[in-house]
Structure 1
Amino acid sequence: MKNASTHGIADLRRRLGLTQARLARLAGVHPMTVSKWERGVLAPNPPQRAILGALEAAAGGGAASPEAEELAAWLNRAYIDVTEVSGMKLSASNQFRGRVVELELGPVSARVVIEIAPRVRITSVITTASARRLGLRTGRRAVAIVKATEVLVGVPG
């Protein structure tokens, strides 16, 4: 959903059989935000557009497919509230569980790709020192924490 139109989001939600509250949970936003998207008062940010785009692709432009339902279930499991993570207190509300699927360590920076659902990935560039301190490796569970256009990476415990 590159340029998600007002009708596009409402139509997608109806095709997937989702309430505004359910779509809000999948996208990691408040239900009022979905209402604002549908009324054209607010546009989804890049991470939100990625989630909407993945749902649109999985829905195949028609009625909800089994793939769309599977993706919705994955996204629902991927979304967490910061209060569930012991010892972490953050202001970012868009947080997604996943697994590191790619890790490139450079002399100064590291590129981390976390898959939060089938074919839905979030990429972050962090310092190599941070990647090492977190013990990041391919296959490791991690949390992508999205704040505006920034993606921070954390690990439980």
Structure 2
Amino acid sequence: MTVGGENLGGAGRVELLGAIAECGSITQAARLVKMSYKAAWDAIDAMNNLAGQPLVERLAGGKGGGGTRLTPRGRQLVDNFRLIEREHARYLRQLGSQAEGIADDLLLIRRMAMKTTARNQFLGKVAELKPGAVNDEVILALPGGQQIVAVVTQGSSDSLGLAPGVEAFALIKASSVILVADGAGARFSARNQLAGTVTRVQTGAVNTEVVLDLPGGGTIAAIITNHSAVEMEIAAGSHLTAMFKASSVILGVPA
């Protein structure tokens, strides 16, 4: 839930407001939602500031004692949030019943919205994870049958929850990709070697971007110097191999 692009809060904060309306006490409400008294007031202050008007107000002591209650705006916010929750749940149920595979497409749309400076973005599943003394070697299987090898720290591997079968992203900058025209019989230290066919060549003032089509429908882009592009006679239809080190691969997992 946002107001003017600012995060006002989600179900947790609205649950706190609802508890205040029910209990009439910030202390009891905080205890009910398992929140400290200070954290509850910090949340209320933040919501009041972002809303531009009080959502919660204190009651002066008297015959019935003091307390805390929602303002009319606060009650409206709780009611509207619960209405939105019900409509959202109904919308998801309707989507689920309309078409097979729609959930997969929703996930795909979310992936396509991801923004990153890495020119090459691949989605696959962890085929193998080899623990090391400091770093782990992760082999990612791509839908086209290729594999990408990445070397990450054990801390990163643990925090991402990487394990065989886990879906993950591989990000590789185009400047980290080396193109080889004829590597027959040669040995290279780069673990990743993806063969493909040149489909696009875009020449700039200093560098040239080369895009290769990979088997299975994927692509990979490389940034090389104009001199290298001329020397290698790179053109649409050329068969090249894109190489990059395992240490050049950044891994991520869907949120």
Shorter-chain TM band: 0.3 to 0.5
Which structure has more strand as a fraction of its residues?
2
Q: Which has the higher contact order (CA 8 A, sep 6+)?
A: 1
Structure with more helix by fraction: 1
| Structure of higher CA gyration radius | 2
